[in-house]
Structure formats: C-alpha cells, structure tokens
C-alpha cells in the first residue's frame, strides 16, 4: 500500500486564561501564535457585573507586517463580557487587524463565561448548585447537554465540584495543523480546557470539499456530550475553506451539538482558508 506523503503547511495555536488580579477584577487574556501571525487580546473585567473596565489588542507579527501594533479599545468600556456581546465587539473593533482583534477579544469573553462557574458567589448565587439550576433553566436546549437533562447522569455542580481554584479560574488551549499533499489537505485540531477535551481530523479533496472527517471527546461534563461525535459526518461535502461559523453551527451545532466543537472546527476552517488562498494564488501564478 502506497501512503501519500503529507507536508506540514500551516500551524495556529491559541491559549486563553482568566485570573484574578485584585479583589474586584479579573484579567481575561488570549494569545495566538502561528505560522503567519502572533497576537493577543485582553479584557479587565469586574467580577460582579462582568462589565469591561479595559480592553486592548496587540499584533506582534503578521503577514508583511500589515497589522503590527497595539491598541486600546475604550469603546468596549462598560460592555458586559458575556453572551450577546457580538454587536458591541463589531461596533468597537470591526475588522481591525484583519478581524484578528475581534477574534482575540471574543475568545476572552468565552473564557469569562466559562470562568463564571468559579465566580458564582460574586455573581450573586449562594451555591454552585444554585448556579447549576440557573443554567438548566436559562440555557435549556442550548446544546447537547442542556437539551438532554433527562438523560444526564452528572449535574454540572457535581462535575466541577472537585476542581479547586486559586487565582486562575479558567484555561484553554487550542491547536490546528494543516498538512498538504497531492490528494488534498489534512487538518488536525485539538481543544483542551478546564472542562472539555476534544480533537478532530478533517480531510479535504483537491476541490476543498470535506472527503473524510472524524472527531472524539476525552473530557466533557457528561457522556451525553460524547454523542456529538455522531453529527460530525454531516460535514462531508462542505467546501471547508469557504465555510463560516454560522454554516458550521447549522451542521454540527444547535441544540443537539457542542458549541466548543463548533468553535474548534470554525478555527480549523479559518486556518485551512489561509492555506487554500495561498495555494490558489500559486496556481494562478503558474
């Protein structure tokens, strides 16, 4: 059997963390380092209201040095670093740094939402059980877990009960590697954070369509979350370099999907789009 040789073409790595910096505030940071770019975003947030006190993004390295620089975002002051901040992010930073600024700050907000579990007292909940019931009520049918509470065998407070925290409330790392060969592209992605761990492999043919895909979960709040693996085959046939997050979410997300898996595949799609654009440019030159 002849195995087609694949060459590493492109890499992106993300690291996010949320930590206390004083009694009233936490700092949410996201760092991106990859083949073509190195950047960061940060939000200083009040622990009780989740209101943004300071926001900034930095790009240290980018293609041709187009986006290098550091910029504070005073327009985000007072915005709540929680769900539905998207409009305020678009208004505050738009497509600055080629969209990288908004991407970094959005990752910081995702970190804040996850860190809330360990800030439940500051957020007005008497116990982690009260916080868990709040989510079961307000986010019912929002993902596989909260759409199948009748089948869940481990409630959220039980899952996180032994996750001791000091000053650091949440960490997440993501990685994406793109390999190229004569038969197409191969993308490998992984996500590991305080609560979840999953990975995916996607094969693209020479037209950019998904020819094969598989994913797996290693850690999640409940076994019911692992059932999202069955949805993954629905990606077959999509032209991944041209897929946005909304389209990916319609296929493997929604009430029976996993938002974290959608985020990972969206990041993989963005990474492979960079490679695809480069390959298209080279083909045009030829």
User: How far apart are the C-alpha atoms of 196 and 210, rounded to whole Å?
Assistant: 25
Assess if residue 1 is contained within a domain: no
Whether the predicted pLDDT of 27 surpasses 90: yes
pLDDT at 67: 82
**231 found inside a domain:** yes
- Number of structural domains in the chain: 2
| pLDDT score recorded for residue 281 | 37
Residue 157 domain flag: yes
Residue 29: give the domain boundaries.
7-119
pLDDT value, residue 130: 96
Of 174, 26, 22, 39, the C-alpha closest to 113 is: 26
- Domain stop point among 68, 91, 119: 119
Mean pLDDT confidence for 259-279? 93
Q: Are 183 and 205 in contact (CB under 8 A)?
A: yes
State yes or no: pLDDT of 39 exceeds 90.
Answer: yes
Is 87 within the bounds of a domain?
yes
Confirm whether 182 is domain-assigned.
Answer: yes
Inform me whether the pLDDT recorded for 196 exceeds 60: yes
Check: CB of residue 145 under 8 Å from CB of residue 222.
yes
Q: 285 pLDDT band (50/70/90 cuts)?
A: very low
pLDDT at 286: 27
| Same domain, yes or no: 31 and 61 | yes
159 and 256 in a single domain? The answer is: yes
> Are 205 and 78 members of one domain?
no
Q: How far apart are CA 89 and CA 286, in angstroms?
A: 40
175/270 same-domain check = yes
The pLDDT score that the predictor gives to residue 63 is 87
* Same domain for 39 and 160: no
Q: How far apart are CA 174 and CA 88, in angstroms?
A: 25
The pLDDT value given to residue 132:
96
Verify that 229 and 257 share a domain, yes or no. Answer: yes
* pLDDT tens digits, one per residue of 11-20: 999 999 999 9
Residues 155 and 276 in one domain: yes
pTM: 0.93
Q: 59 with 155, same domain?
A: no
Q: 155-184 pLDDT, tens per residue?
A: 999 999 888 899 999 999 999 999 999 999
Mean pLDDT throughout 265-271?
97
In a domain, 135, yes or no: yes
Residues 93 and 135 grouped into a single domain: no
Q: In this structure, is residue 92 part of a structural domain?
A: yes
Q: Average pLDDT in the 198-221 region?
A: 97
Which of residues 66, 90, 119 is at a domain's end? 119
Same domain, 178 and 279: yes
Which residues, in sequence order, are CB contacts of 15 under 8 Å at separation 6+? 30, 31, 171, 172, 173
Per-residue pLDDT at 253: 94
The per-residue pLDDT of the chain, averaged, comes to 93
Local confidence band at 280 (pLDDT 50, 70, 90 cut-offs) = low
Kind of pairing between the strands at 52-61 and 197-204? unpaired
Domain end position, chosen among 119, 145, 167: 119
Q: Which residue has the tokens 């500051």?
A: 122
Distance (Å, whole) CA 109 – CA 264: 16
Quick one: average pLDDT of 245-266? 96
CB of 187 within 8 A of CB of 165? Answer: no
């Amino acid at each position: 059997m002849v195995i087609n040789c694949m060459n590493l073409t492109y890499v992106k790595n993300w690291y996010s963390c949320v930590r206390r910096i004083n009694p009233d505030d936490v700092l949410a940071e996201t760092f991106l380092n990859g083949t073509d770019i190195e950047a960061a975003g940060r939000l200083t947030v009040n622990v009780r209201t989740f209101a943004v006190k300071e926001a900034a993004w930095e790009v240290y390295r980018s293609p041709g040095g187009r986006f290098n620089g550091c910029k504070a975002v005073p327009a985000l002051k007072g915005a709540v670093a929680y769900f539905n901040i998207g409009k305020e992010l678009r208004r505050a930073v738009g497509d600055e740094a080629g969209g990288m600024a908004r991407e970094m700050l959005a990752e910081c907000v995702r970190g804040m939402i996850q860190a809330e579990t360990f800030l439940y007292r500051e957020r007005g909940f008497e116990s982690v059980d009260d916080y868990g019931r709040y989510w079961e009520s307000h986010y019912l049918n929002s993902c596989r877990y909260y759409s199948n509470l009748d089948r869940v065998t481990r409630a959220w407070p039980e899952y996180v009960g032994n996750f001791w925290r000091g000053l650091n409330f949440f960490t997440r790392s993501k990685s994406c590697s793109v390999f190229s060969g004569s038969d197409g592209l191969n993308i490998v992605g992984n996500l590991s954070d305080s609560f979840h761990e999953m990975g995916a492999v996607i094969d693209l043919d020479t037209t950019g369509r998904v020819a094969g895909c598989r994913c797996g979960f290693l850690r999640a709040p409940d076994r019911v979350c692992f059932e999202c693996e069955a949805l993954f085959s629905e990606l077959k046939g999509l032209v991944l370099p041209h897929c946005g997050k909304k389209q990916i979410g319609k296929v493997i997300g929604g009430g029976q999907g996993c938002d974290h898996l959608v985020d990972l595949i969206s990041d993989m799609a963005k990474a492979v789009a960079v490679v695809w654009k480069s390959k298209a440019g080279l083909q045009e030159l030829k």
